[in-house]
Amino acid sequence: MLQPFIYFFMEKAVQPVTPLADARDGARKILLDNNRGGYTIPSPRLYPFQWSWDSGFIALGLSYVDKTKAFDEIRSMFKGQWSNGMLPHINFHHVDENYFPGPDVWGTKECPWAPRKVATSGITQPPVFGFILRLMADRMTDDPEFIELLKEIYPSIVHFHRYLYENRDPYDEGLVYIHHNWESGTDNSPLWDEALDTIDVSSARDVSVLRRDLKTVDADQRPTNENYKRYIYLVDLFRSCNYSDKRIFERCPFLVQDVLFNSILIRSNEALIELSSLIGQDDSELRKWNQKSIAALNNKCWDEQTGFYYDFDLVQNKRIPVIVSNGLMPLFAGVCTPQQAEQLKHNLLSSFKNGDYLLCPSCAVDEPSFNPVKYWRGPVWINVNWMLYHGLKRYGLNEEAAIVKQTSINLVEQSGFYEYFDPRPGISNDKRGLGGNCFSWSAALYLDFLFNF
C-alpha cells in the first residue's frame, strides 16, 4: 500500500556537474553542524532557533544521516505545540540575541494556550509533518522506533489540523486562512503587498534599529523597514488580542487563504489517511476535511482563463491576481485534473521559465514585482522545487520534474547550500547563492533528491 516514489527519467538538457560525494558530505555536515542537540537551526546567525516547516524538511534530510536526530527533531518541534493545537512557527529553545522579533516581542507567556516549558512565537507555518512522516514511512515501516514515533506524533498532527479547521476557517469552506505573511513561509512574496499596504504605519513603531537580519544579508535581498513595521504591527495586534483567533479575526487587516498553505494541508491530510492503518487510527475526520478542502481549492482559487491557482484575500473579498510559485503547489497536493496540470505546466514553462531562467523562480518572471535577488520575489528555493518536483511526478510530467530536480542539485553543487538562488540566465555560479549560507533545508532536501530515485 505504501509505494515508494520511483525515479526513472533523466532530462538531457540539465546535466549533473560535480562529483556527488563531496556535496553529499557537505550536506551531512551542515545538518550536523546546525544541530543544537535535539533540534536543528535553519542557518547559523540569520535563523538561530527551531522553525516549524524547516524542521519537517530537516527531519527528512536527517533521516538519511542519523535516525535518532531525525526523530528528536520532530519531537522537539511538537514540544512547542499549544494546548489549542496550534504548532508555532518558532520554538525559542534557547536564548539568542541575534534574532528579531524574539520571545519578548511575542509575549506568548501570558497566553493560556502557550506551553510553559518552551518559549514560542504566536503564529504558525505550513503543516508539513503529515507528509514528512509519510515519506519516512517509505523506508521505515518495519522499524519499531519509527512506529513508536508515529504513534506519539500522529495525534498531535491531527490536533494541529483540527486547530486550523476550527479556528482558521470561519465560513466553514474547507480553506484555512493565514493572518500573518510569515505564516505562509513565503514571507516576502508579492502576494502580501496589497493586504500589507492597507495597514497604516504612520503611527506604528519603528523597528529598523532592532532588526538583526541586515547584519547577515544585504538589504537589497530583504524586506524594507516599512514592511517590517507592518509585520510587527500585526504581532502587536495578536498580542493585544492575547492570541485569541476569534478576536484576531475581527480586527486583523490581513486574512488570506493561501494556495501553498492549503495545498500542504491537503497533502498532509492525505498522508495521515494513508498512515492511519499502520497504527490503527480512525481517519474519518481527516477524510471529511480533505474532501471539502480539495473541492474548495478548485472552486475558489482556480482560474480557468489563465490556467492558474490564486490566493484569496478574505478582508478585501477578492482573489490576489499574482502569479507566484505558491499557485503551482496544488500539483503537490494532487488536487488537479490532468487538464489543470497541463495548464500549470504551460505556465511553468512560459511565465516562470521565460526562455532560460532557472526553474523555478518564486515569482513569475513577467510579473511587475519580479526581483531576481529579493527574498521570495524571484529567487529559486530548494523546498519549493522539491514540492514542485513531487507534484510534477504525480501527474506524470516527468520531463519537467527532471529539470526541476537536476536544476536544484546543480544549484547547490555549483553555488553552495544557500537559502535561495538568483534564477537569471548568465549569472556566474559564485554569484547565484543568496541569503543565509549553510542553509539546513537546502542540505536536507538535496540529500532527499539524491536518495529518492
As annotated, the active-site residues are 187, 419
Q: Are strands 420-421 and 318-319 parallel, antiparallel or unpaired?
A: unpaired
Instruction: Among 54, 245, 311, 413, indicate the residue that binds ligand GLC (CB under 6 A).
Output: 54
Tell me, residue by residue from 186 to 225, as one string, x for binding to ligand GLC by CB under 6 A and - for no binding: -x--------------------------------------
Q: Does 47 bind ligand GLC (CB under 6 A)?
A: yes
Q: Which is nearer to ligand GLC, 174 or 433 (CB)?
A: 433
* Whether the Cβ atoms of residue 261 and residue 164 lie closer than 8 Å to each other: no
- Shortest Å, Cβ 221 to ligand GLC: 12
Site for ligand GLC in 131-190 (CB under 6 A): 185, 187
Q: Does 96 bind ligand GLC (CB under 6 A)?
A: no
Instruction: Among 30, 34, 40, 51, indicate the residue that binds ligand GLC (CB under 6 A).
Output: 51
DSSP state of 302: E
By CB neighbour count within 10 A (0-12 exposed, 13-18 middle, 19+ buried), where does 360 fall? buried
* Whether the Cβ atoms of residue 23 and residue 446 lie closer than 8 Å to each other: yes
Q: Are strands 312-313 and 318-319 parallel, antiparallel or unpaired?
A: antiparallel
Distances in Å between the alpha carbon of 148 and those of 153, 167, 358?
9, 29, 41
Instruction: Among 53, 106, 238, 418, indicate the residue that binds ligand GLC (CB under 6 A).
Output: 53
* Whether the Cβ atoms of residue 243 and residue 122 lie closer than 8 Å to each other: yes
- Shortest Å, Cβ 52 to ligand GLC: 7
Which phi-psi region, left, alpha or beta, contains residue 108 (left: φ > 0; alpha: ψ -120 to 50)? Answer: alpha
Q: Which is nearer to ligand GLC, 42 or 174 (CB)?
A: 42
Of 361, 342, 337, nearest to 351 by C-alpha is 361
Region from 17-25, 45-53, 80-88, 363-371 binding ligand GLC, contact rule CB under 6 A: 45-53
Q: Which residue is nearest to ligand GLC (CB)?
A: 42
Q: Which is nearer to ligand GLC, 290 or 442 (CB)?
A: 442
Q: Which is nearer to ligand GLC, 33 or 187 (CB)?
A: 187
Helix (H) or strand (E) holding 387: helix 382-394
Q: Does 413 bind ligand GLC (CB under 6 A)?
A: no
For residue 442, report the phi and psi dihedrals to the nearest 5 degrees: -65, -40
> Applying CB under 6 A, which residues contact ligand GLC?
42, 47, 51, 53-54, 185, 187
